[in-house]
Structure 1
C-alpha cells in the first residue's frame, strides 16, 4: 500500500498530542496573585508542570523526527506495519495524560514511572516498525543498500535501550532519567559500527537478499 495515508494520519496524531500538552499549563493557580512577588511565587510553584511539558514536548518532537526520517526510505507499507504504527500512535495519544500525571504526582513512584513507560512504548513500536520495513527482501524501502539497512536496524535499537534505562532509573531520580536520551547519538553510532563493512569497492561481498 502507499504510505500517503499513513504518513498524514501519523503527522496529525503527533501534532494533536504535542498541542494537547500545553493544556496542562493554565493560569487558574495564579488567579489569586495581587503583586509581582505573588505572581512570581505562583509561577515557581508551576515548575513541575512546566518541566514535564518541556520534556514531553521535545521528546515527542524527537520521536516525530524519527518517523520523518524513516519515511524518507519507506515507500510501501503492509498490514503488519499498519498495526505497528497504530500501536505506536496509541502510545503517542497517551503522552499528554501521562505528562499530567508526572507533573501532579511526580512525588510518587508510579507518577514518576508512567511517563517513561509511555515513551518506551512509543519508541519500541517505532523500532519494530522500522525492523519490519528494513527486513532483508521486504521490498518496502528504497535508497538503502542491504548493509546500510542492517546498520540502520542496529542504530535504531539505541533508543529502545535508552528508553529501558529511563524506565529503570525514573523511580530513583525522577525526570532526570530522561537525560539518558542525550546519549542516543553516541550509542547508535556504537551499535551501528558493530556491523562489519563487508564491501569491496562499494559492492557487497554477499547479497543477503533471497534469490
Structure 2
C-alpha cells in the first residue's frame, strides 16, 4: 500500500481482522475448556464413563450450539471485512462491545450446559447472543451508511436486516424462556429467522423509507 492511501493510524482493516479472528478463536476454544472432565473413578470402567457422558449430554449440546453460532457470526463478519478497504472510527468502536460479548459467551454456555431448562440460564445465553448479533447489525449498518462497503450497498443492508431478524429471534426466546422451559429449541431455528425474517424486515423498512409507494399501489397508480 502506498503512503498516499495508507489508512489513518488505528484504522487498519488487516489489524482489526487479525485481532477479531484471535478473539473468536480463543472464545471457541474456551467452549471446550469449560466442558467437565471425568474423574479417576469415572474412568475405571466403560459403564461409569458411559454414565458420566450421558449425564453431561446437555453440556455437549450447549458446546455444539455455541460453537456453530460463533462460527456463523465469524463467517458473516469475515465476509463483511472482505468488502471493506477503509475503516471509520465508529465502525472500530462497535467492535469493543461485539468482541466483549464474544469473549463472554463461554460462560453462559457453561451455565446452560449445567441447567439448560433454567429460565435464567436461557436468558443469560439468549441475551448474550442477542447482544452479539445486534452489535453485528450495528457494524453492517455503519458500513452501509458510511460508504465503507465496496459494491452493492443494498446487499449490505439486506444482510443487516437478516441479522436484525436473528437478534430479535433470540430476544423472543429470552421472553419465552420464562413460560416455556424448552424455549432454547428456538435457537436451533435461527437460520430460518434470517431466511424469512430478513426479507420481511427489508420490506417493512423499504415501506417506511418510501410511504408514498404503498399508497400509490393501493390507489392503482
TM (norm. structure 1) is 0.82
> Would the alpha carbon gap of residues 152 and 45 (structure 1) be closer, same or farther in structure 2, given more than 3 Å must change?
closer
- Taking the aligned partners of 2:39 and 2:125, their CA distance within structure 1 comes to 23
CA contact (8 A) 1:154 1:188 kept: yes
CA contact (8 A) 1:123 1:163 kept: no
- Taking the aligned partners of 1:54 and 1:105, their CA distance within structure 2 comes to 16
1:180 aligns to what? Answer: 189
Q: Which runs of 5+ in 2 are unaligned?
A: 1-10, 208-221
- Taking the aligned partners of 1:68 and 1:159, their CA distance within structure 2 comes to 18
1:10 aligns to what? Answer: 20
Question: C-alpha deviations, 1:75-119, integer Å up to 9, x for none?
Answer: 221111111111100100001111111112334321221011111
Q: Residue 130 of structure 1: CA displacement? A: 0.8
> Would the alpha carbon gap of residues 165 and 107 (structure 1) be closer, same or farther in structure 2, given more than 3 Å must change?
closer
- Taking the aligned partners of 1:35 and 1:88, their CA distance within structure 2 comes to 44
RMSD of the TM alignment (CA)? 2.1
Please state if 1:164 is matched with 2:171. yes
Please state if 1:88 is matched with 2:98. yes
- Taking the aligned partners of 2:142 and 2:163, their CA distance within structure 1 comes to 12
**Residue 42 of structure 2 aligns to a residue in which SS?**
coil
TM (norm. structure 2) is 0.78
Please state if 1:63 is matched with 2:73. yes
- Taking the aligned partners of 2:48 and 2:72, their CA distance within structure 1 comes to 36
CA contact (8 A) 1:158 1:187 kept: yes
> Would the alpha carbon gap of residues 26 and 154 (structure 1) be closer, same or farther in structure 2, given more than 3 Å must change?
closer
Aligned length: 193
Q: Which runs of 5+ in 1 are unaligned?
A: 197-211
Please state if 1:142 is matched with 2:150. yes
- Taking the aligned partners of 1:182 and 1:147, their CA distance within structure 2 comes to 21
**Residue 26 of structure 1 aligns to a residue in which SS?**
coil
1:208 aligns to what? Answer: none
- Taking the aligned partners of 1:13 and 1:80, their CA distance within structure 2 comes to 20
**Residue 32 of structure 1 aligns to a residue in which SS?**
helix
**Residue 141 of structure 1 aligns to a residue in which SS?**
coil
Alignment of 1:87-166 (within 5 A): 87-135=97-145, 138-144=146-152, 146-166=153-173
> Would the alpha carbon gap of residues 23 and 174 (structure 1) be closer, same or farther in structure 2, given more than 3 Å must change?
farther
